[in-house]
Each structure stands twice: as structure tokens, then as C-alpha cells.
């Protein structure tokens, strides 16, 4: 009974938070902005962005900052040190999150917000609740837990933090958390996910990031953070 009461409290929080965001945050400006932010959580978009950044950095490696040069093998290898685990983390999250959705849909189906309330209205319940998606975007139907966009975003963010090194740790952590959180928030704003779906996706993403770094650093995902800052080595 205690577990049943706890789960009911969690679900009530989930639905209440969803409706509060829909009631207080919806604006025409965000209706136009959030679809673009949410698309940044697509795995193939993230992979293409990583490859583009790695190519740019490799081409500019060794230049004076104003010119370009053909990337050397060493320059490409230096970029792969962070690109490899990032791509692996994105791949893991992109596989695990959909697989979890399919598995959980068999055990306990979890409808997306818009369709949940549509079905409730057909059954004569929650008739006072009106929840719609963003204009121009069709609400998703498939099981929504965990959020795949959020999973890949937090997977990329986790690797970004773990490869940042001590000197850039605080700045990288802040940027990674803000970016991943914005993508997660966009999924709730667009009524494609409940807040609990996003939290679940964040957990999956963080674990995938740690796993990818463990593979890349031979079992020690925090190896880069243990390296002293470059200025300390020089001293």
C-alpha cells in the first residue's frame, strides 16, 4: 500500500507539473522556438553537429586562428579523443531509450499527454482539462517513457563534461546542463512527454555517457578530470 501511495503521488506530480507548464509558459514566441530546440535532440542532428565541429577544429589546428589548413592525422586523432565517446554515447542512448519504450509499453503502457487527455475526455473524465501540442506539430502517440531526445542530449552533455578537464569543468558543465535541460523542457512544452519521461531520459543519457567514457578510457570514465590543468604541468 505504501508503494502504491508513493507511485500515485509521483503520477499526480507528473500530471500537475505538465498542466502548470502548459498553462503558464505557452506563448506564440515559444511555440515557434521550441520545435527548433527540440529538433536539436535528434540523434542524427547531434551526430552531424559533432562531426562538423570536429572537422572545423581539425582544420584550424596549428593555424594562427585566421587561416585554414588540411587536417593532419594527429589533428584528427586529437578530435577523436572527444568525438569517439560522444558518438558512442549518442548511439547507446539512441538504442536504449527506444528499446526501453517498447519493453515498458508491454508491461505498463504510458500514453503521451495529448492522447491521454483525449482518451480521458472520450470516457467523460477530466473534461475541464484542455491540453494541446504546438501548432504545426502532430502529437506523438507511441509510448513516451523515457524521452529519447533527452537521453541523447544528456549523453552528449555527460561526455562533454567528462572530457573537459579540470580547467574548463565548471564552464562546460553549466553549458552542457543548460543545453540538455532546454531540450528536455521543450519535450514537455510541446506536450510530447510528461516531466517524468524527461527525468527518465536524463538518467538514461547520463548512464550512457558514463558507459561510453568507461569504454573510451579503459574502465575509468573520470580519467580526463584527474589530469592536472595544463598550466600546472608546465609549472
pLDDT tens across 161-192, in order?
A: 999 988 888 899 999 999 999 999 999 999 99
Whether this prediction's pTM lies above 0.95 is answered by: no
For residue 139, the tally of other CB atoms under 10 A from its CB is 16
**CB distance 180 to 153 below 8 Å:** yes
From CA 144, how far away is CA 180, in angstroms rounded? 18
Q: Confidence class of residue 1 from pLDDT cuts 50, 70 and 90?
A: low
From CA 58, how far away is CA 46, in angstroms rounded? 18
- Distances from the Cα of 52 to the Cαs of 62, 190, 203, in angstroms? 18, 28, 27
Q: Count Cβ neighbours within 10 Å for each residue of 171-187 and write b for 16 or more, e otherwise.
A: ebbeebbebbbbbbbbb
What sign has the CA pseudo-torsion 179, 180, 181, 184?
A: positive
**CB distance 152 to 93 below 8 Å:** yes
| pLDDT at position 115 over 50 | yes
Amino acid at each position: 500500500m505504501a508503494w502504491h501511495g508513493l507511485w500515485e503521488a509521483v503520477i499526480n506530480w507528473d500530471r500537475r507539473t505538465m498542466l502548470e507548464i502548459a498553462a503558464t509558459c505557452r506563448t506564440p514566441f515559444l511555440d515557434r522556438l521550441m520545435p527548433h530546440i527540440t529538433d536539436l535532440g535528434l540523434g542524427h542532428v547531434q551526430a552531424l553537429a559533432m562531426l562538423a565541429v570536429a572537422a572545423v577544429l581539425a582544420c584550424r589546428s596549428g593555424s594562427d586562428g585566421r587561416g585554414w589548413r588540411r587536417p593532419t592525422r594527429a589533428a584528427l586523432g586529437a578530435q577523436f579523443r572527444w568525438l569517439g565517446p560522444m558518438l558512442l554515447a549518442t548511439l547507446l542512448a539512441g538504442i536504449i531509450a527506444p528499446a526501453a519504450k517498447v519493453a515498458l509499453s508491454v508491461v505498463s503502457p504510458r500514453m503521451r499527454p495529448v492522447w491521454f487527455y483525449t482518451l480521458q475526455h472520450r470516457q467523460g473524465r477530466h473534461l475541464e482539462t484542455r491540453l494541446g501540442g504546438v501548432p504545426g506539430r502532430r502529437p506523438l502517440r507511441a509510448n513516451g517513457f523515457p524521452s529519447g531526445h533527452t537521453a541523447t542530449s544528456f549523453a552528449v552533455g555527460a561526455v562533454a563534461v567528462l572530457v573537459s578537464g579540470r580547467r574548463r569543468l565548471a564552464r562546460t558543465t553549466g553549458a552542457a546542463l543548460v543545453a540538455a535541460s532546454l531540450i528536455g523542457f521543450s519535450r514537455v512544452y510541446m506536450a510530447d512527454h510528461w516531466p517524468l519521461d524527461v527525468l527518465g531520459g536524463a538518467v538514461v543519457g547520463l548512464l550512457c555517457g558514463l558507459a561510453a567514457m568507461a569504454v573510451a578510457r579503459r574502465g575509468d570514465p573520470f580519467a580526463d578530470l584527474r589530469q592536472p590543468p595544463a598550466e600546472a604541468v608546465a609549472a
